[in-house]
């Protein structure tokens, strides 16, 4: 028996990178996938014959609510929620406009809140569920030119821990993954200089791959593997945070 048989997993931000790698692994472990992204077309081939692909704008409450409603209408329930949608850019704090900061918070933090806000009541009613929020090791240590990103990811950790305390009584387990630098399309707006300097800091000497992060999500989603994890931020980070 596969680890996620009979489970419906909603993965937001599934079109590429870590979200895509998690979707691929979850499908191999028997999950029925509901995959969502701004780029819905990129999710179609990933979702499999039992799954569904959806377009979502995580910055819009109406869009996220419509997504959750559509997934429940199609699949009947949501057993696992993975919040992996995000943006990344580099900007010194002295040059950062309020608009740039607000956009980062809207997508990377508010978008996670919205998905949790609409999915958590369903899991409470089911008396079961797993919520996995993708944060970053920069939530712990900060990063030059990454104040807005680090703030958003630190917010995810606070949100995750608070939800973990609130929802545990309903057997809804909330955790985060705080990866180190991962080679994904998200790095497209980051300078080669920043990437080179960051890579040189890592004890492992290299960035991770998305498929090296996905097993951590499987651990947290599966039972009994993830049954004792609550309010944690697991760190596949090449040794960047110890």
Distance separating alpha carbons of residues 144 and 94, to the nearest angstrom: 11
From the candidates 118, 149, 170, 229, which is the catalytic residue? Answer: 149
Distance separating alpha carbons of residues 63 and 232, to the nearest angstrom: 28
User: 192: buried, middle or exposed (CB in 10 Å: 19+, 13-18, 0-12)?
Assistant: exposed
97 dihedral zone (left: phi>0; alpha: psi -120 to 50; beta): beta
Q: Three-state SS string across 119-173, please?
A: HHHHHHHHCCEEEEEECCCHHHHCCCCCHHHHHHHHHHHHHHHHHHHHHHHHCEE
Q: Are 23 and 12 in contact (CB under 8 A)?
A: no
In terms of Cα–Cα distance, which of 201, 226, 229 is closest to 137?
201
Q: Give the SS3 label for residue 33.
A: strand
Distance separating alpha carbons of residues 26 and 5, to the nearest angstrom: 9
Phi, psi of 2 (to 5 degrees): -75, 160
Q: Is 118 one of the annotated active-site residues of the chain?
A: no
Does the N-terminal peptide bond of residue 85 adopt cis geometry, omega within 30 degrees of 0?
no
Catalytic residues: 149
């Amino acid at each position: 028996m596969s680890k996620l048989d009979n489970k419906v997993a909603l993965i937001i931000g599934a079109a590429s990178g870590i979200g895509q790698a998690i979707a691929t692994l979850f499908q191999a472990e028997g999950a029925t996938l509901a995959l969502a992204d701004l780029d819905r077309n990129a999710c179609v081939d990933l979702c499999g014959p039992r799954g569904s692909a959806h377009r979502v704008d995580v910055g819009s409450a109406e869009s996220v609510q419509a997504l959750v409603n559509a997934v429940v209408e199609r699949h009947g329930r949501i057993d696992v929620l993975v919040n992996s949608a995000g943006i990344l850019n580099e900007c010194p704090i002295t040059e950062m406009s309020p608009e740039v900061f607000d956009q980062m918070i809207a997508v990377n933090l508010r978008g996670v809140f919205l998905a949790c806000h609409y999915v958590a009541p369903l899991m409470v009613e089911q008396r079961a569920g797993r919520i996995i929020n993708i944060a970053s090791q920069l939530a712990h240590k900060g990063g030059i030119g990454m104040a807005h990103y680090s703030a958003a990811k630190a917010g995810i950790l606070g949100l995750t821990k608070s939800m973990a305390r609130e929802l545990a009584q309903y057997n809804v387990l909330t955790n985060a993954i705080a990866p180190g630098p991962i080679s994904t399309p998200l790095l497209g707006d980051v300078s080669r200089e920043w990437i080179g300097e960051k890579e040189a800091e890592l004890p492992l000497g290299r960035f991770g791959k998305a498929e090296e992060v996905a097993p951590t999500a499987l651990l947290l989603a599966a039972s009994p593997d993830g049954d004792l994890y609550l309010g944690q931020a697991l760190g596949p980070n090449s040794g960047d945070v110890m």
